[in-house]
Structure 1
Amino acid sequence: MKRVALFPGSFDPFTKGHEDIVLRGLKLFDEIIIGIGRNARKERYFSLERMTRLIEEAFRSEPAVRVISYDDLTANVARNEGATFLLRGLRNTTDFEYENGISQVNRSVYEEVETVFLITSPHLAPISSSIIRELHRYGRSVDAFLPYQLEESKV
């Protein structure tokens, strides 16, 4: 049976920390679906279309990785995509507390799904999408934190 994992997130933006989790996850799974979730309560800094394109480009040489966007419960998306695993990265204990609750809810929606947590590589743990957005907003280079290049404009 093919081991398919959904790696869900807002990925606004997708960082080298996220890339690290996907690349390490490929040692565990046959396919990883990077799922960019829409959050009606948040306005994106980088457009969904742009982020999808950038992530696809970053993984163009990895046939076992594909990118989707969705507006549904993550557990429903996993079921619909044939994923029996959810892949998540943990930077610290705060991430664990948050992710633990979500994993329990996902399991109640889709009983067959298992959440697999990978600890972020230490040199990437300080990177967060919110820090990158803030740096970018004020004109600082963020290229060192991303697996792709951004133009100066945020749009």
Structure 2
Amino acid sequence: MANVIAVYPGTFDPMTLGHEDVIRRACQLFDKVIVAVAAGHHKKALFTLQERIDMAREIVKDYPDVTVEGFHGLVRDFVVSRGGKAMVRGLRAVTDFDYEFQLAGMNRSLMPDVETVFLTPSDKYQFISSTFVREIAMLGGEVDKFVSPTVQEKLAMKVRSLGRE
């Protein structure tokens, strides 16, 4: 099958090196990867949707087959509207699997023609989560081992703007 589009959805608040690794891996499997940045109505995001989109675009700028778009609402509607045939989900540890497995089942019910593909990041990124990165940054810790320089700079600016340094 030619020109297979995969969608990698998430809140990416912020995007970590683990997310970047999953994107790299997805690029080896699919013709086009759309990083779908969710508004995240169910989560209290540190960064605005536009800030998260801008950071993701900066990070993937050297990947010609990757685009970044924001979305509101059901990921199903986004995937179908973009002609996605696969949805990429990152798995870090067995603790992610139960939730992701249930989500994949729901998505299969909503999108029978779209496959969920689980990708694991490199071992050195398995433990990284956006939540941990945010918490470390907000408490004044170093996050350079977990995020790109672009994200590190944006995190430092955000922490300063909130008066939390």
How much has 1:42 moved relative to structure 2?
A: 1.8
Q: TM-score, normalised by structure 2?
A: 0.89
CA–CA distance in 1 between the matches of 2:139 and 2:7? 33
Equivalent AA in structure 2 for residue 67 of structure 1: V
Partner of 2:67: 66
Give the counterpart letter for 2:23 in structure 1. V
Per-residue deviation, residues 58-114 of structure 1 (Å, max 9, x unmatched): 111111001111112112211001111000111111111110111111111111000
Determine the C-alpha separation between the residues in 2 that align with 1:83 and 1:72: 16
1:1-155 equivalences under 5 Å are: 1-147=2-148, 148=150, 149-151=152-154, 152-154=156-158
- Are the aligned partners of 2:38 and 2:71 in contact in 1 as well (CA < 8 Å)? yes
- Give me the whole-angstrom Cα distance separating, in 2, the residues matched to 1:42 and 1:18: 18
- Aligned residue for 2:112, secondary structure, equals coil
TM score, norm. by length of structure 1 = 0.94
Q: Distance in 2 between matches of 1:79 and 1:24?
A: 22
Unmatched tracts of structure 1, length 5 or more: none
Q: Which amino acid aligns with 2:122?
A: S
Q: Which amino acid aligns with 1:153?
A: M
Q: What stretches of structure 2 of length at least 5 have no aligned partner?
A: none
What secondary structure is seen at the aligned counterpart in 2 of 1:27? helix
Q: Which has the higher helix share?
A: 2
Identity %: 35
Paired AA for residue 53 in structure 2: T
CA distance in structure 2 between the partners assigned to 1:39 and 1:61 by the alignment: 26
> Helix, strand or coil for the counterpart of 1:153?
helix
Given that 2:18 and 2:128 are in contact with CA atoms closer than 8 Å, whether structure 1 keeps it comes out as yes
Give the distance between the partners of 1:40 and 1:58, measured in 2 at CA: 24
CA distance, structure 2, for counterparts of residue 105 and residue 37 of structure 1: 18
* Greater shift in the superposed pair: 58-67 or 143-152: 143-152
Aligned-partner residue type, residue 104 of structure 2:
S
* Deviations, residues 127-154 of structure 1 (Å, cap 9, x unaligned): 1101000011112221221122424222
Runs of 4 or more above 2 Å deviation: none
Aligned residues: 155
